[in-house]
Each structure stands twice: as structure tokens, then as C-alpha cells.
């Protein structure tokens, strides 16, 4: 059973009129969601970049990238072989 089948295909949403939120930040009803979405998009952009780098290096498969993804964790999960680095004069 798909989870999408549990929801109606037609959503009817209305906003409450004259319903202030005196205990919310600046009386807002939704201030926390956009930063969480933005943080997730940055994390998954880094993870997708690592998957592409790993594919270029011939490494496939699952890898764990903890949150927050530090520079050391990103470097170690990139499957980069330091012996392939070279400086040309």
C-alpha cells in the first residue's frame, strides 16, 4: 500500500480569518519551516555532489553522511585517492 493512497486527491485548505497567534514569534504561525527546508536542500546538494564524485572515482553504494556534514566527513566520503593529486610546474 502506498502512503500517497491514504490522502485525498483533492485537498481543500482555508486560512483562518481573525485568528492571531500572540505566543508565536512576531505573532507568526509558520516561521520555522523555511530555514529547515533550506538547510535540508544544502545538505542534500552536498550529498548528491559526493555521490557524483564517488561515481567518477568508480565507487558506488550507500554511504553515511552525518549532520552536520563537516569538511573532514565530506572529504573522507568523497572516495578521493590523495596519491592521484599532482602538481605540475
Tell me the catalytic residues.
33
What are the b/e assignments for 57-84, b being 16+ CB within 10 Å?
Answer: eeeeeeeebeeeeeeebeeebbbeeeee
CA dihedral 26, 68, 66, 50 (to 10 degrees): 110
Amino acid at each position: 500500500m502506498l502512503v500517497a493512497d491514504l490522502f485525498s486527491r483533492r485537498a481543500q485548505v482555508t486560512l483562518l480569518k481573525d485568528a492571531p497567534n500572540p505566543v508565536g514569534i512576531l505573532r507568526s504561525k509558520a516561521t520555522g519551516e523555511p530555514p529547515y527546508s533550506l538547510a535540508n536542500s544544502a545538505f542534500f546538494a552536498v550529498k548528491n555532489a559526493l555521490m557524483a564524485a564517488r561515481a567518477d572515482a568508480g565507487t558506488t553504494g550507500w554511504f553515511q553522511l552525518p549532520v552536520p556534514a563537516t569538511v573532514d566527513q565530506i572529504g573522507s566520503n568523497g572516495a578521493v585517492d590523495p596519491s592521484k593529486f599532482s602538481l605540475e610546474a
